[in-house]
Chain A
Amino acid sequence: MVKFSEEQLAEFNRLVSRYPEGKQKSALLPVLHLAQDSFGGWLSAETMDYVAEMLQISSIEVYEVATFYSMYNLKPVGKYMFEVCQTGPCMLRGSDDIIAYIGEKLGIKPGETTSDGMFTLKTVECLGACGYAPMMQLGKHYREHLTREKVDAIIEECRSKAANMN
């Protein structure tokens, strides 16, 4: 059963309060972000139905939105998601190479997750970091000016973070 914690509920209320009376649907995008972060990094049907109920809208309105935007994951993803930009300006600075290197290193293709559930590799379109290419998004932050060495270090960093959590 998915259910917001007390703290998440406070954040939910803050999000909804920003819009006029009766326009609580406007909070849908931010609430879906909150739900995704709260319930395992992806949006299950159960999570979406819960969001619909919380916002007093129909489930279909939530599905419509969740399927439109690229940041919502509709299936489980790895603990760490490498979202590497592949658009023109990044390509000019070698993003193809970086994507291939990560794939090789982790033994997965774009769109796949490692069998231990640790890493997902995803190619994305321009993230507004074109001058600092090649780059990827990792969680809330960007990793820029990527090189093979930096990629190695990031993978190590994630592995040791995960090990410390256990």
Chain B
Amino acid sequence: MSIKLLLEKAHVEGIRYFDVYRREGGYRSVEKALKEMGPEAIVEEVKKSGLRGRGGAGFPAGMKWSFIAKPEGVPRHLVCNADESEPGTFKDRYLMEFIPHLLIEGLIVSSFALGSNDTYIYIRGEYAWIVDILEQAISEAKNNGFLGNNILGTGFNCNIHVQRGAGAYICGEETALIESLEGKRGNPRIKPPFPAVQGVWMRPTVVNNVETLAAVVPIINMGGEEYAKIGVGRSTGTKLISACGNINKPGVYEIDMTISVEEFIYSDEYCGGIANGKKLKACIPGGSSVPILPANLLLKTAKGETRYMNYESLSDGGFATGSMMGSGGFIVLDEDQCVVRHTLSLARFYRHESCGQCSPCREGTGWMEKILKNIEYGKGKLSDIDLLWDIQRKIEGNTICPLGDAAAWPVAAAIRHFRDEFEWHVLHPEEAQQRNYGLAHYADPIHVPATA
């Protein structure tokens, strides 16, 4: 059995309500942090824990907190990013739906550490019913003296507000989120200035993911050093993985990052194997933006070593032969899935979600969708594959925000690893309408050259 720090209590009957949550040991970290520790000590523990941002980029949370500017007389804000719109990702929803008080508890401690008296949860607009769950939890916490004025008699005031978005993936990007929180279109800002200096209403702001902020609770309870002992290397603590696609048991799993990808997919404790007795063809291990890998490179690195479910191992081999942990959205494709079609679907997504500020992203995502559509529907040319490659290269790194990269990488990785499937579509347009390319050689053992 793996260690569970976030979801251990998620299925206790009534845990959504304050009384049960409190009886199960909830809100201890608030008492400890506010009464015994103080802001600097909390930041120190989070640093020691090695906690990395769970929103996708994996930036060390403690370090981010230490960057917040503290100009005299200017309020600071903590903003919780609950926009969760990266295809394949549904872990934050799970946490908020089943154990909302864990997030509220983490938010109180983090707000205290950062000096935020008004903290905002920016939640994607479609999660409308979760807004009610969170507001209920907030009012319960307030009624019990954990929010509002003079919390636990310490003199610390804090209110948490839930703001609904209205349908825009780009608002997950932190500066777009800030714009949206200010009642504007979700156009990312040019950095610098960074949010830590000028964020919402030009005030110093820290934006963190739901899971990151919830993880602050076990860190305070057990201490940063103990937390850092869980996991491996720079992948400390536990990680929520939302698994979907062609597996037997789609769902949200909390893992300590020492298990292998193979175990995660095939063990009954997690995904329970590929659905309908089929074979694994490919996987996007960290949300739609990260590179897709064929089965063989997913389970083993290019050096023929076992690949593990952690930041370092998933990115082993760089983009040439590896991928990324990303947001933990684990998308599995079985032998009957078409990589071209799936890539087209993602390209459409990014075209739809581009905010349109930068031409490489606005135009490039449209072109990529169009070319992929031609290839998928039997109207492609071989030169289109090179053209796609060229377009994605010209988007990557040339835009205001990383959505451009996020749109480019899936296309690049699909061509890199599945080029023959693209070529087959072009060369056999009619057959490609009738059947899929299938598993082909994508699960064949990797040839590892002998080292000298």
Interface residues of A (CB under 8 A from B): 18, 20, 23, 25-30, 32-33, 55, 57, 61, 64-65, 68-72, 86-89, 91-93, 124-133, 137, 140-141
- The residues of A that contact B369 with a CB separation of less than 8 Å are none
A84 to B242, CA, bound (A): 20
B252 at interface, CB cutoff 8 A: yes
B268 at interface, CB cutoff 8 A: no
The contact sample of 7 A-B pairs, CB cut-off 8 A, is: A29-B180, A33-B166, A87-B345, A91-B341, A126-B85, A126-B88, A126-B349
Are B84 and A128 neighbours in the complex by a CB distance under 8 Å? Answer: yes
CB distance from A115 to the nearest CB of B (A): 27
A86 to B201, CA, bound (A): 36
Are B184 and A64 neighbours in the complex by a CB distance under 8 Å? Answer: yes
Are B201 and A68 neighbours in the complex by a CB distance under 8 Å? Answer: no
- A17's closest neighbor in chain B, by CB? B161
Interface residues of B in 165-199 (CB under 8 A from A): 165-169, 180-186
Are A125 and B185 neighbours in the complex by a CB distance under 8 Å? Answer: no
- A33's closest neighbor in chain B, by CB? B164
Interface size class of B (residues with CB under 8 A): 35 or more
Name the residue among A27, A55, A65, A68 with the largest chain B CB count within 10 angstroms: A68
Known contacts A86-B345, A93-B245, A131-B251, A23 near B167 by CB under 8 Å: no
Are A69 and B345 neighbours in the complex by a CB distance under 8 Å? Answer: no
Task: Give the interface segment out of B27-35, B311-319, B329-337, B381-389.
Answer: B329-337
Task: Give the interface segment out of B39-47, B124-132, B149-157, B301-309.
Answer: B124-132
CB distance from A155 to the nearest CB of B (A): 21
Known contacts A29-B165, A89-B244, A91-B345, A130 near B88 by CB under 8 Å: yes
Are B87 and A88 neighbours in the complex by a CB distance under 8 Å? Answer: yes
Are A71 and B169 neighbours in the complex by a CB distance under 8 Å? Answer: no
Are B85 and A128 neighbours in the complex by a CB distance under 8 Å? Answer: yes
Known contacts A29-B180, A125-B349, A128-B127, A68 near B168 by CB under 8 Å: yes
A23 to B75, CA, bound (A): 14
- The residues of A that contact B118 with a CB separation of less than 8 Å are 18, 20
Are A72 and B90 neighbours in the complex by a CB distance under 8 Å? Answer: no
B64 at interface, CB cutoff 8 A: no
Name the residue among B75, B166, B331, B346 with the largest chain A CB count within 10 angstroms: B166
Apart from A91-B345, A125-B349, A130-B250, what 12 extra A-B contacts exist at CB < 8 Å?
A25-B182, A26-B182, A30-B164, A65-B183, A65-B184, A65-B185, A71-B126, A87-B346, A88-B346, A128-B84, A128-B89, A130-B88
Interface residues of B in 285-342 (CB under 8 A from A): 288, 329, 331-333, 337, 341-342
A127 to B126, CA, bound (A): 7
CB distance from A51 to the nearest CB of B (A): 11
CB distance from B377 to the nearest CB of A (A): 14
For the complex of A and B, the 3 pairs showing the least CB-CB separation, nearest first, are: A28-B183, A131-B250, A70-B167
Are A26 and B167 neighbours in the complex by a CB distance under 8 Å? Answer: no
- The residues of B that contact A128 with a CB separation of less than 8 Å are 84-85, 89-90, 92-93, 124, 126-127
- The residues of A that contact B75 with a CB separation of less than 8 Å are 20
- The residues of A that contact B93 with a CB separation of less than 8 Å are 128-129
CB distance from B249 to the nearest CB of A (A): 9
Are A131 and B129 neighbours in the complex by a CB distance under 8 Å? Answer: no
Say which residue of B90, B128, B166 sits within 8 Å of A69 (CB atoms).
Answer: B166
Say which residue of A18, A87, A132, A133 sits within 8 Å of B161 (CB atoms).
Answer: A18
B163 at interface, CB cutoff 8 A: yes
- A25's closest neighbor in chain B, by CB? B183
- The residues of B that contact A93 with a CB separation of less than 8 Å are 244-246
